[in-house]
A and B are shown apart, each in its own frame.
Chain A
Amino acid sequence: MSDLLERLRALRGGDAPEVPASPPPDAPPAEVAAAALGGEVVEGASGPVVRRRVRRPLGERYGDATLGDGRLHPWLRRWASRGGGGTPPAGDEGSGATAASRGGAGRTVYFDTETTGLAGGVGTRAFLIGLGWHEGDAFVVEQLFLPGPAHEPAWLDLLAPHLEGAEAWVSYNGGSFDVPLVRTRFAVHGRSDPSVGRLHLDLLPLARRWWRASLAACTLGTVEREVLGAVRTDADVPGAEVPARYRRFVQGGDAVGLRGVMTHNELDVVALAAVHARLEASFAAGPSAPAAGERPPFDVAEALGVARWLEAIGEREEARAHYAAWAEASPEAAFDAGRLARRAGDRAAAVAAWTRAAEAGHAPAWVELAKVREHAERDPEGALAAVAAARAAGGDPRDDLDRREARLRAKRARGRS
Chain B
Amino acid sequence: MPGRDAAYGAYPDGVPAALRTALERQGRGRPYRHQARAWAALDAGRDVLLTTGTASGKSLAYQGPILASQLRDPATTALALFPTKALAASQAEAFQALAEATGVAASGVVRYDGDTPAHRRAAARAAVRTLVTNPDMLHAGVLPHHTLWRHWLAHLAWIVVDEVHVYRGVFGGHLAGVLRRLLRLAHAYGADPRIVATSATLGNPTEHARRVLGRDVVHVAEDAAPKAAREVWVARPPLVDAALGIRRPLLADAARVAERLAAEGRQTLVFAGSRQGVEEMVVPLRAAGVDVRAYRSGLLPGERRAIEGALRDGAARVVVATNALELGIDVGGIDAVVVAGYPGATSALWQQLGRAGRRDRPGVGVVLLGTSPLDAYLARDPDRLFAAPPERALTDPDHLLLALDHLRCATFERPLEPDERYGRYGPEDVAVLAGQMEADGDAHRAEGRTYWIGSAYPAATVSLRSAGRADVHLEDVAGRPVGVVDGPSARWMVHPGAVYLHDGAPHEVVELDLAGGRAVLREAGDEVVTRARREREVTPVGPPLVRARGAARVATGEVDVRETVTGYRRVRRATFETLSRHDLDLPPYVLRTRAYAFGPDEATLARLRAQGAWTADPNDYGPGWPAVRREVLARDAHRCTACGADGAGAALHVHHLTPFRAFASAREANRPENLVTLCPACHARAERAVRVRSGLAGLAYLLRSLAPLRILADARDLGVLAEPASPMLDGAPAVVAYETVPGGVGLADALAEDHEALMAAAYAVVRDCGCEDGCPACVGPPGEAGHAGKAEARALAEALS
Contact = CB atoms under 8 A, between A and B. Distances in A.
A20 interface: yes
B401 A12 contact: yes
Contacts of B456: 117, 119
Interface string B56-84: 00000000000000000000000000000
Interface in A5-52: 5, 7-8, 10-17, 19-22, 25, 27
Interface in A71-111: 88-94
B468 interface: yes
A148 B412 contact: no
B591 interface: yes
Contacts of A201: none
A12 B468 contact: yes
Contacts of B587: 14
Interface string B438-460: 11110010110101111111111
Taking residues whose C-beta sits less than 8 angstroms from the other chain, chain B's interface range is 35 or more
B564 to A, nearest CB: 10
B433 A4 contact: yes
Nearest to B444: A250
B455 A117 contact: yes
B126 interface: yes
A2 B432 contact: yes
Contact of B455 (A12, A118, A148, A150): A118
B489 to A, nearest CB: 12
A14 B589 contact: yes
Interface in A120-152: 120-125, 148-150
Interface string B705-745: 00000000000000000000000000000000000001100
Interface residues of A, number: 49
Residue from B125, B455, B514, B589 whose CB has the most chain A CB atoms within 10 Å: B455
Nearest to A127: B453
Nearest to A20: B439
A13 B126 contact: no
Contacts of A149: 415, 444, 446, 451-453
A116 B451 CA distance: 12
Nearest to B743: A11
B401 to A, nearest CB: 5
B344 interface: no
B487 A15 contact: yes
A330 interface: no
B784 to A, nearest CB: 29
B144 A92 contact: no
A11 B147 contact: no
Given A4-B432, A5-B432, A7-B400, A150 B148 contact: no
Contact of A121 (B119, B400, B412, B592): B412
Interface in A171-197: 183-184, 187-188
Given A7-B400, A116-B453, A150-B449, A90 B148 contact: yes
A96 to B, nearest CB: 11
Contacts of B412: 121-123
Contacts of B560: 10
B400 A150 contact: no
Contact of B438 (A10, A90, A120, A251): A251
A243 interface: yes
Interface in B478-502: 487-488
Contact of A119 (B122, B126, B429, B460): B460
B429 A4 contact: yes
B572 to A, nearest CB: 33
Nearest to B410: A123
B122 A91 contact: yes
B401 A15 contact: no
B441 A121 contact: no
A366 interface: no
Contacts of B436: 5, 8, 19
B767 interface: no
Contacts of B401: 8, 11-12
A211 interface: no
A155 interface: no
Contacts of B691: none
B147 A188 contact: yes
A14 B588 CA distance: 7
Contact of B148 (A88, A92, A244, A246): A92
Contact of A90 (B122, B144, B457, B589): B122
B438 A13 contact: no
Contacts of B438: 22, 251
A26 to B, nearest CB: 11
Contacts of A2: 432
Interface string A354-373: 00000000000000000000
A159 to B, nearest CB: 17
Residue from B432, B449, B453, B743 whose CB has the most chain A CB atoms within 10 Å: B453
B124 to A, nearest CB: 9
A385 to B, nearest CB: 47
A412 interface: no
A120 B126 contact: no
Nearest to A117: B455
Residue from B148, B429, B459 whose CB has the most chain A CB atoms within 10 Å: B148
B670 interface: no
B358 interface: no
Contacts of A11: 400-401, 468, 592, 742-743
B91 interface: no
Contacts of A122: 144-147, 412-414
B470 A22 contact: no
Nearest to B741: A11
Contact of A116 (B147, B455, B470, B742): B455
A150 B449 CA distance: 8
Contacts of A184: 145, 147-148
A158 to B, nearest CB: 19
Nearest to A22: B439
A121 B140 CA distance: 10
Contact of B515 (A17, A20, A148): A17
A134 to B, nearest CB: 32
Contacts of B415: 149
Contacts of A13: 468, 470, 487-488, 589-592, 742
Contacts of A246: 453
A388 B384 CA distance: 83
B743 A116 contact: no
Contacts of B449: 150
B346 interface: no
A244 B455 contact: yes
A250 B415 CA distance: 16
A247 B441 CA distance: 7
Contacts of A15: 470, 487, 514, 589
Nearest to A150: B446
Nearest to A21: B439
A19 B514 contact: no
Interface in B153-203: none
Contacts of B455: 116-119, 243-244, 247
B442 to A, nearest CB: 9
B85 interface: no
Contacts of B589: 13-15
Contacts of B150: 187
Contacts of A14: 587-590
Contacts of A123: 144, 411-413, 452, 454, 457-458
12 contacts: A10-B560, A13-B742, A14-B588, A15-B487, A16-B470, A92-B126, A116-B454, A118-B455, A121-B457, A123-B413, A183-B147, A184-B145
Interface of B: 119, 122, 125-126, 144-148, 150-151, 400-401, 404, 411-415, 429, 432-433, 435-436, 438-441, 444, 446-447, 449, 451-460, 468, 470, 487-488, 514-515, 541, 560, 587-592, 742-743
User: Top 9 closest A-B pairs, CB basis?
Assistant: A123-B412, A117-B455, A119-B457, A187-B147, A149-B451, A243-B455, A121-B144, A14-B590, A123-B452
Given A91-B148, A119-B457, 5 more contacts: A2-B432, A11-B468, A15-B514, A20-B439, A121-B145
